[in-house]
């Protein structure tokens, strides 16, 4: 069964073809990596999945439902969560609040006028959020203000905010960019554990170490088109990929 399917997607910015006839099938429960050199259209493609951009032509469907023309919050409510390249968190709020908010969104939907009850009485939500923080190793900082975290911790917090919603599809935009090696390895372990729970993941990544330790399928984009798709071993040896990606150097 196919989970996310992208058919013939085109996107132009002025005279630039950012995406040309992109086709992509992400199978349920797999980790799918999208790689490619800078400017290949990876982030543009991801933006088309979450309603940030609207493709000029083509279709994007998730579990048989079109993701085009609906608002970002509706896409999330359909089960798609996204981690951004620059962590998008609630910087003025505490870590526990940061994780409780998505948990409320999952339970109560896009809008509830929940103005009489107290957050302190929402023990289930708090416990879920606390477990999630423990999962990413941030439970000790639960009452700190999120804006004061290190970049690596902010990424892990954002991941926790997405995971607490138990998404069907998790989109990650360069989850290890700017991380030290040790942090990267921690993140890889964390993502492997997440993948083990059966979540479908689409990862955009520059770091080949990350890609080859996680991905089950890899799609290579270059200049807005898919130039190769397949298992990691096949991609590694594909001469077109080496040409486009590294100018001929060996991966």
Partner 1 sequence: MTRKDLILLICFIVAVLAAPVILEPVGAGYPDLLQKFAIFGIFAIGFNILFGLTGYLSFGHAAFLGVGSYTAVWTFKLFSMNPLPAIILATLLGGLFAVLIGFICLRRSGIYFSILTLAFAQMSYNLAYSVLTPITNGETGLQLAQSDPRVLDVAFGRDYGAVLPSSDFFGMTMTGYPGFYFCAVLLIVCFFLSIRIFRSPFGMMLRAVKSNQNRMNYTGLNTRPYTLAAFVISGMYAGLAGGLLAVTDPLAGAERMQWTASGEVVLMTILGGAGTLLGPIIGAGVIKYFENIFSAFNDGILMKAFDFLPETLQHVMVSISSVFVGEGWHLTLGALFMLIVIFLPGGLMEGFDRLRHSFSSRSGNDDSEVAASVKDAPPVTGGRP
- Contact residues toward partner 1 (CB under 8 A) are 50, 71-73, 76-77, 81-82, 84, 88-93, 97, 100-102, 104-106, 108-120, 122, 161, 165
Q: What span, in angstroms and rounded, lies between the C-alpha atoms of 235 and 175? A: 21
Q: What span, in angstroms and rounded, lies between the C-alpha atoms of 76 and 73? A: 5
- Cα dihedral angle (33, 36, 41, 43), rounded to 10 degrees? 50
7 or 93, CB closer to partner 1?
93
50: nearest Cα among 74, 33, 17, 24: 74
97 or 183, CB closer to partner 1?
97
11 or 126, CB closer to partner 1?
126
Nearest distance in Å: CB 159, partner 1: 13
Q: Is the backbone of residue 82 left (phi > 0), alpha (psi -120 to 50) or beta?
A: beta
Nearest distance in Å: CB 91, partner 1: 6
46 or 218, CB closer to partner 1?
46
Nearest distance in Å: CB 90, partner 1: 4
Nearest distance in Å: CB 164, partner 1: 10
Q: Report helix, strand or coil for 90.
A: coil
């Amino acid at each position: 069964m196919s989970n996310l399917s992208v058919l013939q997607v085109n996107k132009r910015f002025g005279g630039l073809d950012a995406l040309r006839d992109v086709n992509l099938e992400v199978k349920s429960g797999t980790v799918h990596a999208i790689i490619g050199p800078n400017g290949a259209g990876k982030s543009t493609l991801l933006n088309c999945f979450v309603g940030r951009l609207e493709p000029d032509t083509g279709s994007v469907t998730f579990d048989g439902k079109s993701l085009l023309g609906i608002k970002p919050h509706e896409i999330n409510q359909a089960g798609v969560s996204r981690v951004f390249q620059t962590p998008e968190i609630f910087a003025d709020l505490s870590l526990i609040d940061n994780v409780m908010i998505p948990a409320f969104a999952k339970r109560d939907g896009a809008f509830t006028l929940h103005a009489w009850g107290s957050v302190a009485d929402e023990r289930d939500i708090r416990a879920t959020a606390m477990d999630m923080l423990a999962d990413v190793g941030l439970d000790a900082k639960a009452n700190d203000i999120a804006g004061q975290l290190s970049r690596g911790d902010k990424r892990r917090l954002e991941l926790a905010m997405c995971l607490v919603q138990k998404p069907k599809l998790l989109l990650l935009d360069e989850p290890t960019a700017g991380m030290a090696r040790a942090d990267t390895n921690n993140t890889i372990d964390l993502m492997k554990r997440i993948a083990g729970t059966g979540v479908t993941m689409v990862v955009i990544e520059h770091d080949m170490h990350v890609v080859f330790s996680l991905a089950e399928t890899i799609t290579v984009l270059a200049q807005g088109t898919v130039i190769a798709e397949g298992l990691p071993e096949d991609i590694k040896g594909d001469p077109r990929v080496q040409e486009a990606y590294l100018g001929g150097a060996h991966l």
